[in-house]
Amino acid sequence: MTAPIVTRFAPSPTGFLHIGGARTALFNWLYARGRGGKMLLRIEDTDRERSTEPAIGAILDGLKWLGIDWDGDTVYQFARAQRHREVAEQLLAEGKAYYCYASADELKEMREKARAEGKSKLYDGRWRERAASEAPSGIKPTIRLKAPLDGETVIEDQVQGRVVWKNENLDDLVLLRGDGNPTYMLAVVVDDHDMGVTHVIRGDDHLINAARQKQIYEALGWTIPSMSHIPLIHGPDGSKLSKRHGALGVDAYRAMGYVPEALRNYLVRLGWSHGDQEIFSTEEMIKDFDLPAIGRSAARFDFAKLENLNGHYIRHADDQSLVTMFEDVLSYVPNGGDVKAKLNDTTRAQLRQAMPQLKERAKTLIELIDSSYFIFADRPLVMEPKAAALLTPETRILIGKLRSALEAVTEWSAATTEAATRAFAEETGVKLGAVAQPLRVALTGKTTSPGIFDVLAVLGRQECLARLADQASV
């Protein structure tokens, strides 16, 4: 029996949960859930300057919205600083780390020298073998790892393959700062170890950190977890994802009317594939997801594909849950309050009735809201410019005549109104389209809508006749 899988998502709370972080979380979650393992959550808040409480809230909220849950209590890294210090002291006592008294100026000088010489090793190890008695006064020392001087550090990465660094290129990293606080490098290693993490899955911006962290693992005599460094997501132009592109918080995607299922499906297929399959239910992605199938090249973020997927999930959602999503999202979208104010038992029932038609046409919940305008609109309707253009003196007369024809319909339904309208068109000698378009405009204020007879049915006889009267002339 193999040891249970433990993954973790470890965001630093310096901002919202961005799309790249969401994908990392998703991958960790899928891997754990597909193998009966656990996914842990650790907030890396050791940067006291930049970590904020609202950011923590935004990250938790984003994960929750995406449907990603985690096991056990959330670990806050800062709270574990004492443990990190102990490990640093232990390394010091064992002679695997040392005090470094180099000043900021010295460090800067070393960096500049290294760069000038074309070397990547920034710190020259000058305090590595010096006695503490030589320590200058007035400088609080850092604790540095006594990293191996020669040989290689090798990471067998599940995504990147075997990656090798020459140890001569890696310098003695700082474990504990002068102020006694641990560095990220130390904290991550200690926390992952203490939390029993077996698989580290994170962005490949951490790839080089894996090498340095491995040196810490080795100094400590701990087993290094399985490593997987997934490629970053780029903007549509191939450059680093910026706010201008899609590096938005997941809350922004919610506000744009995307549904979590679609975003998850989009994200899982970004860099990962399973043959030719495009659509994955949650169960399927959990079952099929695997690390070696992740590609090694960065993927560009493509809103068009996300939108297509979103449309797919909206079309396939059942009508009642769509009504619920519709209502829920109103709190997050611009002017959502206006529609919310109009929601009552009647309009809710109309929305539900129209949903089979509406959902065929919407790629986002925003479009769903827009296209449902005719249900919530007050008379007289606000006309879109293209719709207003269709209301000529001629069509207004036509609307008036059609209204009279429809007034005769007593059993009001899509079928009866369609029959009446078709008969009217035939009698008048015009094509159905020539009647349907003005009718649509008068009833919805738009040039596009669900099938017009469905609109008639949803709105009901009285409201339809009134709206037609609003636009008709005799």
Nearer to RNA, 118 or 221 (CB): 118
CB of 42 to RNA, least distance (A): 9
CB of 180 to RNA, least distance (A): 9
Residue 347 near residue 419 (C-beta atoms within 8 A): no
- b/e burial code for range 114-140 (CB count within 10 A of at least 16 → b): beeeeeebbbbbebeeeeeeeeeeeee
67 binds RNA per the rule CB under 7 A:
no
36 binds RNA per the rule CB under 7 A:
no
64 binds RNA per the rule CB under 7 A:
no
Interface positions, 132-161, toward RNA (CB under 7 A): 139-140, 142, 160-161
Residue 352 near residue 388 (C-beta atoms within 8 A): no
Nearer to RNA, 36 or 385 (CB): 385
232 binds RNA per the rule CB under 7 A:
yes
Encoded tokens for 160: 């990147």
262 binds RNA per the rule CB under 7 A:
no
Interface positions, 318-357, toward RNA (CB under 7 A): none
Closest CA to 333 of 372, 300, 360, 303: 372
For 253-268, the DSSP string reads HHHTT--HHHHHHHHH
Calpha distance 130→100 (Å, rounded): 9
119 binds RNA per the rule CB under 7 A:
yes
∠ CA(67), CA(73), CA(74), 5° rounding? Answer: 70
CB of 331 to RNA, least distance (A): 26
Catalytic residue among 108, 240, 243, 431: 243
128 binds RNA per the rule CB under 7 A:
no
Nearer to RNA, 118 or 429 (CB): 118
Q: List CB contacts of 272: < 8 A, sequence separation 6 or more.
A: 27, 289, 293, 294, 295
Does the annotation mark 166 as catalytic?
A: no
Q: Which of 124, 194, 278, 288 binds RNA (CB under 7 A)?
A: 278
Interface positions, 358-387, toward RNA (CB under 7 A): 360-361
CB of 225 to RNA, least distance (A): 17
56 binds RNA per the rule CB under 7 A:
no
What are residue 99's DSSP bridge partners?
143
What are residue 7's DSSP bridge partners?
39, 199
CB of 341 to RNA, least distance (A): 26
Nearer to RNA, 315 or 348 (CB): 315
Q: So which residues are the catalytic ones?
A: 243
